[in-house]
Amino acid sequence: MNRIIKASSGLFLLLMTFTASGQQKADPKMDWFENARLGIFVHWGIYSVNGIPESWAFFNNYISYDDYMKQLKGFTAEKYKPEEWARLIKESGAGYSVITSRHHDGVALWDSRMGGLNTRQHTPARQDLLTPFVKALRQQKIKTGLYYSLPDWSHTDYDVFTRDKKRYNIQTEPERWKKFEKYFRGQLQELSARYNPDLYWFDGDWEHSAEEWQAEDVRHMLQKYNKNVIINSRLKGHGDYATPEQGVPVVRPADRYWELCLTMNDSWGYQQHDHNYKTPNQVIRTFIDCVSNGGNLLLDIGPKPDGTIPEEQVNILKELGRWNRKHAEAVFGSRAGITGSNFRGKSTTSADGKTVYLFLETAPSGEVAVKSLQVAPKSIQVVGSDKQLNFRIDKESGITWIDVPSKELDPVATVLSLRFDKPAVFAETSPVPVNYATVLDRAVKSSESSALMKMITVIADELSTGNSLISKGLIAGLSSASAKERKVLTDLNRWTTKHAEAIEGTVKGLPTGYYNGPSTLSADRQTLYLFVDGKPNGPIAIKGIKNKIQRVRIAGNGTLLPHQILNKQYWSEIPGMLYIDIPEDQLDEQMTVIAVLLDKPLDLFGEEVKPIESN
């Protein structure tokens, strides 16, 4: 048996205790924001009448300004029920909500005394729409956020009108700019005095410098009304948290406090012809992705001009709420999870570090592996259930194996809680030799199917780190193996032969964070192989691939698979999320391998996702 191949695996190098997320110093005023984890964005305005891009439709000259403003006549809000909105937001599990008090088009949802356009004076709604919504949120104990656009492309004293037209130059007409400053600062003072929001969500700061906006002074002005008011990053460097947009960060952001704002379909405001909705499964898993990296999700809805919320959006919020109620302890109040070298999947930790939560987005074909735990958990449980799980620790490999009965699995994502008396301590890894004979010897102490899966899991993990294997070497010790070992090795040889293209001659796959499982690349780096354990609960998701996807197929049987890319903005280099749905009847009995053919050698996006400054 000693002739079986040796490869590199991981052993302990650096102990790490997981008790907090990010390097940024904690700010007490941010506690509620960090614990909330989920907010609901509301884009509501006259753009919902024709279902066209909010403000950008005239700014980009898709239609004339006059035609855009004709929508004022159709904005009725006749079925507006803010109490129902607030109850739905509460049902989703959100701890805060942000509504567009005024977008770039200048149409305010409240009856501002500073002039400009507003829904009370200029639409058939004939009412202040903001006040009753804020009141309804507070009745539900939901924190209130106000979106406010610094630019007002309709205001005669604002310098920018459309993408190719300016009204004036502020350097040559500074007095006119001062008039606009008085206007927008006056509106902010109105909002602060009337509503005392918990959060300001600014937008449009890219059109001027911090000095021109007087960003620092604006921040101080708002803090005079509420010293604990939270401000997003779009006040030219004078905010409290980062705001990536539309793309889930590939790498964990450096900021301790961050929030991804995301549409349910491809539109912020209501667009009646946009039916490209994400599924509840995709939305929930995106939320998990955010919290596992220590961030928040600000999920957008776009009500219709009559004040009703589209049925598809209601359904997504309700499904999100179902999952959140069951798994609340793992997301709300959580902190960023453990590293991908310790668990291949998403995770969070409790604020005190004494509980680690593992998110299973597939129905595992075998036991769940957690690597390099330094202290055994006192218990492992399925969140949302009283079920205590059996687990055992292989002291030589440092792997904790967890048995999860299929009847305990959630249809979207199952969550396991690992509880400790003290903050959990893990080890990072560094390469040291591992002997497959030893792995096999330990594996066959369990059932044949379990032993086979453990061998495949180890092989896939090794391959994904660039440790090349020759499948024939795996059966070199058959002559001296026991009957049970021979059976496992025979089945293993069958699996490796079937998936030889993903094993032999391949190189290191995707870095941690791009995909939840092991992966390899062909020698020319133009075919990406994804190893899929068990039965996925939805489409598998891959982040950060800039390449064009030429073809997707199942390795070993040639079945071609469709794929979907969501949230790819045509003007942005940030890649969308790649989703691949695998039919259940095409899944391998042990571990499925998906081959993704790329247009050129793999090109990955590795920068932090930033705010979008164009539409």
CA gap 425, 373 in Å, rounded? 6
> Does 454 score more than 90 pLDDT?
no
> Does 422 score more than 50 pLDDT?
yes
Tens digit of each residue's pLDDT (9 = 90 or more) over 168-207? 999 999 999 999 999 999 999 999 999 999 999 999 999 9
CA 403 to the chain's CA centroid: 28
Q: Give the start-to-end residue ranges of the domains of the chain.
A: 6-18+337-498, 28-331, 507-598
* DSSP, res 302: -
The torsion angles phi and psi of 133, rounded to 5 degrees, stand at -70, -45
CA gap 391, 38 in Å, rounded? 32
Residue predicted with more confidence, 386 or 409? 409
CATH 3.40.50.300 fits 6-18+337-498, yes or no: no
Residue-wise over 546-579: b if at least 16 C-beta within 10 A, else e? ebebeebbbbbeeeebebbebbebeebebbbbbb
> Does 10 score more than 70 pLDDT?
no
Helices (H), 416-571: 436-443, 448-464, 483-498, 500-503
Same fold, 6-18+337-498 and 507-598: yes
Residue predicted with more confidence, 387 or 95? 95
> Does 572 score more than 90 pLDDT?
no
Mean pLDDT of 228-257: 91
pLDDT category at 366 given cuts 50, 70, 90 is: confident
Q: Which of 110-124, 236-250, 307-321 has the lowest mean pLDDT?
A: 236-250
CA gap 199, 149 in Å, rounded? 14
CA gap 293, 173 in Å, rounded? 46
Q: Which of 138-152, 250-264, 287-301, 451-465 has the lowest mean pLDDT?
A: 451-465
Burial grade of 545 (CB within 10 A; 0-12, 13-18, 19 or more): buried
In DSSP terms, 340 is beta-bridged to none
The pLDDT value recorded for residue 612 is 55
Tokens of 491: 């089945």
8 Å CB contact between 299 and 314:
no
pLDDT, mean over the chain: 90
Tens digit of each residue's pLDDT (9 = 90 or more) over 532-553? 999 999 999 999 999 999 999 9
Tokens of 57: 């439709």
- Residue 294, sorted as left (phi over 0), alpha (psi -120 to 50) or beta, turns out to be left
Q: Among residues 232, 203, 42, which one has the least CA distance to residue 614? A: 203
pLDDT category at 442 given cuts 50, 70, 90 is: low
Tokens of 440: 């096999």
- The pTM for the full model equals 0.92
Angle at 370 between CA 368 and CA 376, to 5 degrees: 115
Q: What is the rounded radius of gyration, in angstroms, for the C-alpha atoms of the chain?
A: 27
Tens digit of each residue's pLDDT (9 = 90 or more) over 513-534? 899 999 999 999 999 999 999 9
> Does 367 score more than 60 pLDDT?
yes
The pLDDT value recorded for residue 437 is 67
In DSSP terms, 595 is beta-bridged to 529, 553
Helices (H), 465-576: 483-498, 500-503
The torsion angles phi and psi of 129, rounded to 5 degrees, stand at -90, -15
The pLDDT value recorded for residue 12 is 33
Up-side HSE of residue 526: CA atoms within 13 Å toward CB? 6
pLDDT category at 448 given cuts 50, 70, 90 is: low
Residue-wise over 103-132: b if at least 16 C-beta within 10 A, else e? bbbbbbbbebebebbbbbebbebebbbbeb
- Residue 307, sorted as left (phi over 0), alpha (psi -120 to 50) or beta, turns out to be left
Percent residues over pLDDT 90 in the chain:
76
Q: Which CATH architecture has domain 28-331?
A: Alpha-Beta Barrel (3.20)
CA gap 191, 189 in Å, rounded? 5
- Top CATH class, 507-598: mainly beta
Q: Among residues 299, 243, 312, which one has the least CA distance to residue 271? A: 312
* DSSP, res 335: E
> Does 439 score more than 60 pLDDT?
yes
8 Å CB contact between 316 and 287:
no
> Does 112 score more than 80 pLDDT?
yes
Tens digit of each residue's pLDDT (9 = 90 or more) over 574-611? 888 999 999 999 999 999 999 999 999 999 998 655 55
Mean pLDDT of 254-279: 95
Which run of H or E residues covers position 426?
strand 425-435
CA gap 57, 103 in Å, rounded? 12
Mean pLDDT of 39-54: 97
The torsion angles phi and psi of 292, rounded to 5 degrees, stand at -65, -25
> Does 436 score more than 90 pLDDT?
no
CA 201 to the chain's CA centroid: 19
The pLDDT value recorded for residue 386 is 83
pLDDT category at 472 given cuts 50, 70, 90 is: very low
The pLDDT value recorded for residue 485 is 79
The pLDDT value recorded for residue 419 is 98
Tens digit of each residue's pLDDT (9 = 90 or more) over 271-323? 999 999 999 999 999 999 999 999 999 999 999 999 999 999 999 999 999 99
The pLDDT value recorded for residue 573 is 79
Helices (H), 93-173: 119-122, 130-139
pLDDT category at 14 given cuts 50, 70, 90 is: very low
Q: Which of 141-150, 276-285, 481-490 has the lowest mean pLDDT?
A: 481-490
